Homo-oligomer: A and B are copies of this chain.
Amino acid sequence: MHQNIRQMLELTYSEENYLKAIFHLSEEGKKSVSTNDISAEMKTRPASVSDMLRKLGEKEVIEYRKYYGVHITEEGKKLALQTIRKHRLWEVFLVEKLNFSWDEVHEVADELEHIKSKILIQRLDEYLGFPKFDPHGDPIPDEYGDVRSRPRLPLSELEINATGQIVAVKDSSAAFLRYLDKVGAYIGARIKVMDKVEFDGSIEILVDNKKSIFMSKEVVNNILIMQ
In the complex, A107 has a CB within 8 A of chain B: yes
Give the distance to chain B from A110, nearest Cβ to Cβ, in Å: 10
Which A residues between 99 and 119 are near B, CB-CB below 8 angstroms? 99-100, 104, 107-108, 111-112, 115-117, 119
Copies in the complex: 2
In the complex, A8 has a CB within 8 A of chain B: no
- The 0/1 profile, CB within 8 Å of B marked 1, for residues 108-145 of chain A is 10011001110110011001000000000000000000
**Least CB separation from A98: chain B residue:** B123
Judging by beta carbons under 8 Å apart, are A115 and B111 in contact? yes
Which B residues lie within 8 Å of A123 (CB)? 98-100
In the complex, A97 has a CB within 8 A of chain B: yes
Bound CA–CA A107/B99 (angstroms):
27
Which B residues lie within 8 Å of A94 (CB)? 120
Which B residues lie within 8 Å of A116 (CB)? 111
Bound CA–CA A98/B117 (angstroms):
13
Task: Specify which of B98, B111, B120 is in contact with A98 (CB 8 Å cutoff).
Answer: B120
Give the distance to chain B from A194, nearest Cβ to Cβ, in Å: 38
Which B residues lie within 8 Å of A119 (CB)? 104
Say whether, besides A97-B127, A124-B98, A127-B97, A115 and B117 are in contact (CB < 8 Å).
no
The 10 A-B pairs at the shortest CB distance, nearest first, are namely A98-B123, A108-B117, A111-B115, A108-B120, A98-B127, A97-B127, A112-B115, A98-B124, A99-B123, A111-B116
Please, could you name 8 A-B residue pairs with CB atoms under 8 Å apart, sorted by A? A98-B120, A98-B124, A99-B123, A100-B123, A104-B119, A108-B120, A111-B115, A112-B115
